[in-house]
Amino acid sequence: MKKILSVVGARPNFMKIAPIMRALDAYGSDVQQTLVHTGQHFDEKMSDVFFRELELPKPDEHLGVSGGSHAVQTARIMLEFEPVILKHQPDWLVVVGDVNSTVACSLVASKIGVPIAHVEAGLRSRDNTMPEEINRKVTDAISDLLLTPSPDGDANLIAEGVSADRIHCVGNVMIDSLIRALPKIEQSEILSTLSLTAGGFVLATLHRPSNVDDPQMLGQLIAALNEVATTLPVVFPVHPRTRSRLQSEGIELADGIRMVDPLGYFDFMGLMRSAKVVMTDSGGVQEETTYLGVTCLTVRPNTERPITISEGTNRLVQPGKDTLLAAWNEVQTNPPKRNCPKLWDGKAAERIAAKLVQSGS
Ligand code: UDP
C-alpha cells in the first residue's frame, strides 16, 4: 500500500489537487491518502466554496497558518508541517504550483527524506522579482518527480541540469478540473444574476504584487478598466489583497465596473466562458482561457506559461494604462486563434496517479 500526502494552501491549489485525489481514489485500498490544508487561504470565498464545488475531502490536518510576510508564513508552515509529516510517514508528498505552502512543505519533506512529487513543475517566468518564481525553482530543485504540464517545462528543467528520468510531461491538471466541472459551469446563473449577456462584457482579475502593491500602477490599471467600462461592463471579482489596496489608496472605480467579491469556481468559470475578453495577471486564468478559446490579455511583462501564447489565446501586455487600452483595441478586431495544447485532455491526474503508484518507495 502507498501512503500519499497531498498539500493545499491557497486558491489555485484546490483545482489542481482535487482531480489527483480522485484519480488516486480509483486505486482503492492500494493507496492511503492524507490531505493537509496549510490555511494560507482559509475563508468561505477563498477556500471553503472550492472544497464543496470540487468535492475535495475535508482536510485530515489543518495547519491554520495565514497572513504574515513571506518569511514568517513560510517558516510557520514549516514548523507546523514537520510534526504532521512525521506522524503520517507518507511514501510521497504531493505539492502543486508555486505558493508558499508548496515550497515550505517541500523543504520539510526533503530534510526528512520523504520523496516529493511536484505537479506543475518546470514553469519559469525568468523573473526573480515574482515570489512564485522563487517558490517554483526551489521546489523543483528538491523534488524527486517533476510532473510538467507542457513540453516547455521539460525543456526548462533539462536546461537547468535536471536528469530526464525525473521529468514526466503529464499535461495540465487544472484543465482536468475544468473539463469535469463544465456541466456545472454551464448551469451557473451568474450571467442573469449580474444582468450580463454572453460576449457582452469583460472579466478582470488583478492580484500580483507588482500590479496592486504599487499605488501608481494600480491607479493606471483601474483607469484603463474605467475606460473599457465606457464601452462594455467590466466584472471585477476582487482578490482580498487588491480590495485592501483600492481602499487604502482611495482609488475610484467607474459605474460600469461591477466590483464583486471573489467568486466560486462554477460562477467564475461561467463568467470566463462567456466573456468577450479577460484581463488578468493570474497564472491559472491564462490556461483556462486558452482551453476555452477566450481572448486573454495578461497584464504582466512575462509569463511562466508561454504555451498559452504560442498555442492559445493569451497575449502579454506591458502593465500600464495606455498599453492595456491599446491591446484591448487590437484584440477586438484581431482576436488570437487557439490550438489546444497537447495533453490538456482531462486525464493529467490519471497519469500523475499512475506515476505515483508505480514509482518510488
Ligand atoms: N478563481 C475563482 N474565482 C475567482 C478568481 C479565480 O474560482 O474569483 C479560480 C480560477 O480557476 C483561477 C484560480 O482560481 O484559475 C486561481 O486563481 P488565482 O488568480 O488566485 O491564482 P494564480 O493562478 O494566479 O496563482
pLDDT in tens, 302-343: 999 999 999 999 999 999 999 999 999 999 999 999 889 999
| Residue 37 parent element (H or E) | strand 31-37
**Residue 339, in any domain of the structure:** no
- Catalytic residue flag (residue 62): no
- In angstroms, the CA 238 to CA 210 distance is 16
Binding pocket residue ranges, ligand 1, CB within 6 Å:
11-12, 15, 205, 237, 262-263, 265, 268, 282-285, 288
Regarding whether 157 and 13 lie in a shared domain, the answer is: yes
Regarding whether 136 and 110 lie in a shared domain, the answer is: yes
**Nearest CA residue ID for atom 21, ligand 1:** 12
CB 38 within 8 A of CB 59: no
CA of 111 to the centre of ligand 1 (A): 31
CA of 236 to the centre of ligand 1 (A): 12
- Total structural domains within the chain: 2
> Looking at residue 360, what is its pLDDT?
63
The percentage of the chain sitting over the pLDDT mark of 70, rounded to a whole number, equals 99
Regarding whether 255 and 110 lie in a shared domain, the answer is: no
What's the mean per-residue pLDDT of the chain? 97
Regarding whether 158 and 43 lie in a shared domain, the answer is: yes
- In angstroms, the CA 317 to CA 330 distance is 11
| Ligand 1 atom index nearest CA of 288 | 15
**Residue 119, in any domain of the structure:** yes
Regarding whether 116 and 216 lie in a shared domain, the answer is: no
Regarding whether 189 and 163 lie in a shared domain, the answer is: no
Regarding whether 11 and 153 lie in a shared domain, the answer is: yes
CA of 71 to the centre of ligand 1 (A): 23
Contacts of 357 (CB under 8 A, 6+ apart): 2, 24, 27, 30, 31
- In angstroms, the CA 218 to CA 226 distance is 12
Q: What is the pLDDT averaged over residues 19-24?
A: 98
CB 350 within 8 A of CB 171: no
Name the residue of 194, 238, 268, 269 whose CB sits within 8 Å of the most ligand 1 atoms, as the mutation to test its pocket: 268
**Residue 168, in any domain of the structure:** yes
**Residue 137, in any domain of the structure:** yes
> Looking at residue 359, what is its pLDDT?
83
- In angstroms, the CA 188 to CA 183 distance is 9
**Residue 85, in any domain of the structure:** yes
**Residue 12, in any domain of the structure:** yes
Q: What is the CATH number of the domain that holds 162?
A: 3.40.50.2000
Regarding whether 199 and 157 lie in a shared domain, the answer is: no
**Residue 86, in any domain of the structure:** yes
Regarding whether 267 and 143 lie in a shared domain, the answer is: no
Query: DSSP secondary-structure letter at 306?
Result: T
Residue with cell 483545482: 15
10 Å Cβ neighbour count for 361? 11
CB 224 within 8 A of CB 321: yes
Task: Kindly provide the residue ranges of all beta strands, DSSP E only, lying in 230-310, ordered along the sequence.
Answer: 234-237, 257-260, 277-280, 295-298
Regarding whether 186 and 152 lie in a shared domain, the answer is: no
Regarding whether 267 and 119 lie in a shared domain, the answer is: no
**Cα angle, residue 88 at apex, residues 85 and 92 outer, rounded to 5°:** 70
Regarding whether 189 and 59 lie in a shared domain, the answer is: no
Range of the domain at 48: 2-172+344-358
Q: Are β-strands 314-316 and 116-119 bridged in parallel, bridged antiparallel, or unpaired? A: unpaired
pTM beyond cutoff 0.85: yes
- In angstroms, the CA 203 to CA 269 distance is 10
- Model confidence over 243-262: pLDDT tens digits? 999 999 999 999 999 999 99
CA of 207 to the centre of ligand 1 (A): 10
**Residue 224, in any domain of the structure:** yes
| Ligand 1 atom index nearest CA of 280 | 19
Q: Are β-strands 234-237 and 202-205 bridged in parallel, bridged antiparallel, or unpaired? A: parallel
- Model confidence over 113-144: pLDDT tens digits? 999 999 999 999 999 999 999 999 999 999 99
Residue with cell 504531493: 94
Name the residue of 11, 177, 238 whose CB sits within 8 Å of the most ligand 1 atoms, as the mutation to test its pocket: 11
